[in-house]
Amino acid sequence: MTKTRLKKYANLIARCGVNVQKGQEVYITAELDQPEFVKMVVDECYKAGAKKVTVDFSYGPLTRSHVKYCKTDVLGSLDKWQIERWEHQVEVLPCKIYLISEDPDELEGVDQKKLAKSMAMRSKIIKPIRARMENKYQWCIAAVPGKKWAKKIFPGERASKAEELLWEAILNTSRVDDDPIAAWDKHNADLLKRCDYLNSLGIKSLHYTASNGTDFTVGLIPEATFQGGGECALGSGIYFNPNIPSEEVFTSPMKGEAEGIVYSSRPLCYNGVLIDNFWIKFEGGKAVEVGAEKNEEALRELINMDENAAYLGECALVPYSSPIRESGLLFYNTLFDENAACHLALGRGFTNLIRDYENMTEEECHKLGINDSIVHEDFMIGTADMSIVATTSDGKTVQIFRDGEWAF
């Protein structure tokens, strides 16, 4: 992979992803897999005017050791300096870049109950702090190849070749071409047109069907909107793209209004464990039954993370012909696989999807129907024959998806 193309990607993350402004602080988290690329991103952030760039490296095998040997209360706690770092972020509202590359099987075989309990404990500490900066800062999740991740996708290739192939797949699906920023401007404009159309319909509910057995209806919030692509930070109004790549148009549904059954169309990588060939049955808006051929226990732990983890926080529409699916690859990574198919998310919804949310409290958004939870986990349900029909507030039906593609 040429350095020129990698620099374009680094520039895309800094300028189009988080859209660093002069004088802003930047906080980057990354694994140890691509330190040279991390340096490129740091350089591009400084070139964009960043005041200070901090990089926090992690290492998957160490995470596994911590889960194995630490007591649950230690795993679930935060030291004073960690809390102070979160408080600093509330004060300065840094741009946050997450460069992901972890091994999909990283935590296979660990004690899932212990891991889930410790995560819930940590989240309860972080959640009220993070709530004070919610929607006010720019952030972006992007990916770089990890050797084990690359070998998972390309098992027949030697490690170096697998890594090169994964770089190519990441850059292609992230629209890193001759002019990546222009490509993203065009892509965002298309997503905005689709959002405008959906928002004009006054949709009350969506009905999903597919030949794999999915037959599911979900209610929508009258005050909620569909969004996709870039968004603006509250207060500053700075436009940024939180996911690279992204193909989705999404909304947060009405808590308590979901009935039927959905079948997964791609594995879910959750806490370093692959949950595969699973289904979820909803009644009264809540996941009441689940099943999986692989790692069903992890799925059960997910929906029991807190009292609202079994409710839905997102409905996302993605055409089956998306660049990620057309790559022919299963990425074993939610950032990519969620953008290969229509998906739902268990857990937390998005308050910024409510019209005029900036003049409301978080509690008021929740009362309108936005789900509140410490988790937000996307799972893929889109298929080549998926149909989605909207029922509008005036009783009309409108075909939204037909045979896995936009019907408009």
Q: What average pLDDT does range 188-209 have in this prediction?
A: 98
Q: What are phi and psi of 394, to 5 degrees?
A: -100, 15
> Which position has the higher pLDDT, 237 or 107?
237
Q: What is the per-residue pLDDT for 54?
A: 98
The answer to whether residue 91 scores a pLDDT higher than 80 is yes
Q: What is the per-residue pLDDT for 190?
A: 97
The answer to whether residue 283 scores a pLDDT higher than 90 is yes
Q: Which amino acid is at 260?
A: G
Alpha carbon of 327 to those of 65, 331, 354: distances in Å? 35, 10, 34
Q: What is the per-residue pLDDT for 29?
A: 98
User: Residue 217 — pLDDT band, cuts 50, 70, 90?
Assistant: very high
Q: What is the per-residue pLDDT for 257?
A: 98
Give the β-pairing of 139-143 and 95-100: parallel
Q: What is the per-residue pLDDT for 116?
A: 87
Alpha-carbon span 30 to 11, nearest angstrom: 17
CA-wise closest residue to 387 among 365, 402, 398:
402
Q: Going from the N-terminus, what domains does the chain have, and what CATH number goes with each?
A: 3-173 (3.40.1830.10), 180-406 (no CATH)
Write the pLDDT tens digit of every residue in 117-168.
999 999 999 999 999 999 999 999 999 999 999 999 999 999 999 999 999 9
Alpha-carbon span 193 to 22, nearest angstrom: 31
Sequence-distant (6+) residues with CB within 8 A of 371 are 252, 255, 308, 311, 312, 313, 347, 348, 349
Alpha-carbon span 218 to 207, nearest angstrom: 7
Write the pLDDT tens digit of every residue in 249-280.
999 999 999 999 999 999 998 887 889 999 99
Sequence-distant (6+) residues with CB within 8 A of 37 are 6, 9, 10, 99, 144
User: Residue 27 — pLDDT band, cuts 50, 70, 90?
Assistant: very high
Q: What is the per-residue pLDDT for 273?
A: 86
Q: What is the per-residue pLDDT for 327?
A: 96
Report the percentage of the chain scoring pLDDT > 70. Answer: 100
The mean of the pLDDT values for the chain is 96
User: Residue 1 — pLDDT band, cuts 50, 70, 90?
Assistant: confident
